[in-house]
Amino acid sequence: MESIDFEAAGLTRQQSVIMQAVLNARAKGLDCRPSNIQAEYEQLSGRGIQKPNFFTQLKHLTTTGVLVKSDREYALNTPALSRAFAESRSRLEAEIKRSEEQERLLKKIASGAGEKPSMPLIQYCSLEDYFQAIADRMGESELLCSNSIFPWTCFSGPIAHVCGATAYYNRITELSEKGSLEVRYTTPFNCGYLAGLALKAARGNRAIALKECLRTIDNMKTQLELQPNLDIHYVPKTLGLHFVVLKPVGAEPRTLYFFIFGKPGEIKNGVVINSEEMAANVYQLFNEDFKASMSMRSKSAHKVYSMLEGRFRSILSGK
């Protein structure tokens, strides 16, 4: 039987094989009970799967709605799968569009750096090296500016860990709490991105993931009350790049740090660009956005907090 690319619907490799196993069992006229599904899975993958993990994945697939269970038998939920494929395609198209916007913006940044800007030194880094490079530079900086998907200072340790950004998270938390580093964010608050990280950290448990996301909102409120050197501004639409600019003590920015995304919401690696001209241009663009955006300390911010809580509950309700 021809295989279906269930990963295109946002499923993991293991979940996709389980879905194919259900389809194969039904095509063979077998009862789609766990024992037959597991046998088909092992035939497809060429290896066994532990029962606790197998049943955990079955539960996840039925909870998300792509599988349905009736009288101990499982079947594919075609309407739910169609929606999942459509949503995945929309996310992919959005990522392609964003990549094109990133390319156009980088050209704009480079062209705005002067008629004959000096050739920047560009380094492509692994996630670990990228975040470590920023963490190392923070100690000699007085200001960090970030056009962020979500303010990382508000994350918990487990969220930072699944991002591969533990060193970055620990350093920015340490320096901002000490008051030795001023931190400014502009962010559209991408709730889908954070919900995905929380689900990954919670191993698919939506209730725990929701608690983690709501805790992030509470962290933000508390940090803004306790840390005058932290500023978070809401912008409905930001520049099409996720970047960090560090301003060294007593000097102007000279290095840019960009995130490169793979799958939607997944940071694949980073780019470090050593160019005073480009850094100055991005720093200026950031400040323009920052001044024109809403402070999360303002009276109007309560509407944004309510919006964020509603979005998280909607995304992680499992409906």
Q: Is residue 11 predicted with pLDDT exceeding 90?
A: no
Per residue in 129-178, pLDDT (tens digit) is 888 888 888 989 999 999 888 888 898 888 888 877 888 888 988 898 88
For residue 101, being part of any structural domain is answered with: no
Q: Which of these, 119, 20, 31, lies nearest to 72 by C-alpha position?
A: 31
Total domain count, the chain = 2
Of residues 228 and 115, more confidence is placed in: 228
81 pLDDT tier (thresholds 50, 70, 90)? confident
State the average pLDDT for the chain: 81
Instruction: Determine the pLDDT at residue 183.
Output: 94
Task: For residues 45 and 185, state if they share a domain.
Answer: no
Quote the pLDDT of residue 3: 64
Residue carrying the six token digits 């060294």 = 248
Same domain membership, residue 264 and residue 122: yes
| Domain assignment of residue 88, yes or no | no
Task: Please check whether residue 92 lies inside any domain of the structure.
Answer: no
| Per-residue pLDDT at 181 | 92
Q: Which of 37, 65, 83 is the last residue of a domain?
A: 83
Angle of the 166-178 helix axis to the 127-138 helix axis, nearest 10: 20
Question: What CATH number does the domain containing 63 carry?
Answer: 1.10.10.10
| Same domain (yes/no): 69, 129 | no
* Structure tokens that stand for 178 in this block: 């000490």
Q: Residue 232 — very low, low, confident or very high, per pLDDT cuts 50/70/90?
A: very high
What would the pLDDT profile of 281-298 be if each residue is shown by its tens digit?
A: 889 888 988 998 999 999
Domain shared by 120 and 78, yes or no: no
Q: Would you place residue 116 in the very low, low, confident or very high pLDDT band (cuts 50, 70, 90)?
A: very low
**Do residues 122 and 236 share a domain?**
yes
d(CA 219, CA 226): 10
Mean pLDDT of all residues in 80-96: 66
State the residue range of the domain holding 282.
112-315
Asked if 117 and 74 sit in the same domain, the reply is no
Whether 89 is covered by a domain: the verdict is: no
Q: DSSP alpha helices (H): ranges in the chain? A: 13-27, 34-45, 51-64, 78-111, 127-138, 157-163, 166-178, 191-201, 206-226, 276-292, 301-315
> What is the C-alpha to C-alpha distance for residues 56 and 240, in angstroms, rounded to an integer?
37
Q: What is the mean pLDDT of residues 25-37?
A: 83
The answer to whether position 39 is within a domain reads yes
- Residue 90 within a domain: no
Regarding pTM above 0.85, the answer is no
Q: How does DSSP classify residue 316? A: T
